[in-house]
Structure 1
Amino acid sequence: MNNNVIQILSQTLEEHKEAALVLITRTKGSSPRGVGSMMLVDSNGGILAGTIGGGAAESAAALEAAKCLRQGLSKTISYEFEIESPDPQKLAMVCGGEIELFIRVFKQTNHLLIVGGGHIAQALYQLAVVLGYYIAVIDDRPEILTKERFPSASELILGDVIQELRDYPSHEQTSIVICTYNHTLDEGALAAAIAKPNRYLGMVGSRKKVALCFEHLKAQGFLPPDLDKIHTPIGLKIGGETPEEIALAILAEIQAVKYKENLAAPKDTVFARI
């Protein structure tokens, strides 16, 4: 049983999903399962694998594990069992006794997908490394997409940019930044990225080029609600024009979206390709 829990946990993490592992660490008296029993819980309180004995204890622990996932907090909890008790901290279970559980949270890693490997991409990568992002970079130029330029990147994906982007398994914690070496490629990459799961989608480009790109996307059938989700002009208005300054503005905006800060204020700065 526990081997299956570990296997499902490994698979969940490989898919960049989050889960909480609930492990029995101590029992006193009678309890439904022994020390070492475990279960895996998703962010909705659903049990993905395993069991700690069923009944009220398992249901309460699953809900608590989901709460821990939302808070990003691992912790130890305990329950007492009584057949009948007016105490809400005690669970009505026939077995009696007491159980201690450790809830270990596995949160999704912040995930940055950089489409293009030029100067802005390299500067953005360097800042994201400091913040502990899982970083993937897509480009079709082998001389650009090298371990020397991106030594700590989790993935370097060489190939047709648009096709690789279409095939890439993004999720709700993925931030996508499009900054390729030409506007036609940017436009194709943006069209491929719009329908993909993401927390943030932004594209580098001048206001004129962005407007033209949006007109082309509308002609392809993309609706205003789709385009409204795109962050462009990209980055917070903090000033600067070097690749490093542009990258800082972009990552600041990504962080603001992550923490649901207000981005309603108008932005006048437009970053062109570097």
Structure 2
Amino acid sequence: MEGKLMKELAQNIEEGRRVALVTLVEVSGSSPGKAGDMMTVLECGEIMGTVGGGNLEYQLICEAKKAMDENRNMEIEYDLGPNGTLKMECGGKVRAYIKVFKEREKLVVVGGGHLGLELYTLGKFLNMHVAVLDDREEYANSERFPLADEIIHGNIGENLKKYRLNRSSYVVVVTKGHAGDREAIEAVAGREIAYLGMIGSSRKIRKSYDILMEKGVQREELDRVYAPVGLDISTGEPKEIALGIMAEILKVKNEGSGKHMREIKGIEA
């Protein structure tokens, strides 16, 4: 059972799901579970394994979901007597440890052209899960993106609507034209993700926003889009534009200031 549980845990981590591992590290006296019992918990509450069942297990599932929501590990103790927190009759005590496994950061490159190729390269360099979407077969294939974790060919808007995104997803829209960019933004805007960026001039973006709002996209959702995308550090070459975009993504991901390090940790004369 433990082997199957650990295999399932590894698969969930690899597929980008947030998951918690609950382990009973110490048990004294009477308890529904024994030391070493393990259980995995997904954000939706789905579990595998057991730590004894009953109210103890229910409370640990709730605590695991809370730990995932707060993105922190935790240790917790329960008195299983009638005067304890859980009001149980067992009379023992348990100490549990909850380890949260964060999702692997996912870079979703919407558009497989020159810029998309450079973003894919940087995403793999940073050990991100990289997905590439394009409606052109010649730009969405394993020959062009040999190390991509996912390559999705077809209608961009429809594919994005059904694509699984989460709080560790970073979406960059760099399709071949304005219409494709708008389809992508419409499909993603308002969803709970870490970052959404779109390439383009300020004039093009304003026009796209007007069209999107006419189609029902809320202005507040568009205000959260990083557009024009990236930091102002490039000459306009695709490699440098991609580097500016990834720098912005790292700034968001790591909650960095974007300042020069010498401004933050300057050396006094």
TM category, shorter: 0.7 to 0.9
Please, what is the CA RMSD of the aligned residues?
3.7
Tell me what 2:21 maps to: 21
Query: Contact (CA 8 Å) 2:81, 2:92: kept in 1 or not?
Result: no
Q: Does 1:37 align with 2:37?
A: yes
Query: Contact (CA 8 Å) 2:39, 2:51: kept in 1 or not?
Result: yes
Partner Cα distance (2:70, 2:27) in 1: 26
Q: Cα distance, 1:221 vs. partner?
A: 3.1
Tell me what 1:124 maps to: 119
Q: Cα distance, 1:162 vs. partner?
A: 2.6
User: Structure 1 stretches of 5 or more lacking a match?
Assistant: 264-274
How far does the alpha carbon of each residue in 1:61-87 deviate from its partner, in whole angstroms, 9 at most, with x for none? Answer: 456545653565557x474747489xx
Partner Cα distance (1:84, 1:214) in 2: 60
Q: Cα distance, 1:53 vs. partner?
A: 3.4
Tell me what 2:262 maps to: none
Partner Cα distance (1:38, 1:17) in 2: 18
Query: Contact (CA 8 Å) 2:14, 2:104: kept in 1 or not?
Result: no
Query: Contact (CA 8 Å) 1:31, 1:96: kept in 2 or not?
Result: yes
User: Structure 2 stretches of 5 or more lacking a match?
Assistant: 259-269
Partner Cα distance (1:92, 1:190) in 2: 50
After superposition, the Cα gap between the structure-2 partners of 1:198 and 1:80, relative to the gap in structure 1 and judged at 3 Å, is closer
Q: Cα distance, 1:154 vs. partner?
A: 0.9
Give runs of aligned pairs for residues 223-262 of structure 1, distance below 5 A: 223-260=218-255
How far does the alpha carbon of each residue in 1:33-68 deviate from its partner, in whole angstroms, 9 at most, with x for none? Answer: 124433334559x67455423577556645654565
Classify the secondary structure of the residue corresponding to 2:139: coil
Query: Contact (CA 8 Å) 2:73, 2:99: kept in 1 or not?
Result: yes
* TM-score normalized with structure 2 length: 0.75
Query: Contact (CA 8 Å) 1:74, 1:105: kept in 2 or not?
Result: yes
Classify the secondary structure of the residue corresponding to 1:143: helix
**Paired letter, 2:181:** D
**Paired letter, 1:206:** S
Tell me what 1:182 maps to: 177
Partner Cα distance (1:193, 1:64) in 2: 30
Q: Report how many aligned residue pairs link the two structures.
A: 258
Q: Cα distance, 1:218 vs. partner?
A: 2.8
**Paired letter, 1:188:** E
**Paired letter, 1:145:** A
Give runs of aligned pairs for residues 99-138 of structure 1, distance below 5 A: 99-138=94-133
Query: Contact (CA 8 Å) 1:79, 1:91: kept in 2 or not?
Result: no
Query: Contact (CA 8 Å) 1:68, 1:105: kept in 2 or not?
Result: yes
After superposition, the Cα gap between the structure-2 partners of 1:118 and 1:34, relative to the gap in structure 1 and judged at 3 Å, is same
Q: Does 1:69 align with 2:68?
A: yes
Query: Contact (CA 8 Å) 1:56, 1:92: kept in 2 or not?
Result: no
Q: Cα distance, 1:202 vs. partner?
A: 1.1
More displaced 10-residue stretch of structure 1: 56-65 or 232-241: 56-65
Query: Contact (CA 8 Å) 2:82, 2:91: kept in 1 or not?
Result: no
Which of these residues, 122, 126, 136, is aligned with residue 141 of structure 1? 136
Q: Does 1:212 align with 2:211?
A: no
Query: Contact (CA 8 Å) 1:80, 1:96: kept in 2 or not?
Result: no
How far does the alpha carbon of each residue in 1:194-221 deviate from its partner, in whole angstroms, 9 at most, with x for none? Answer: 2544221111112222222222223323
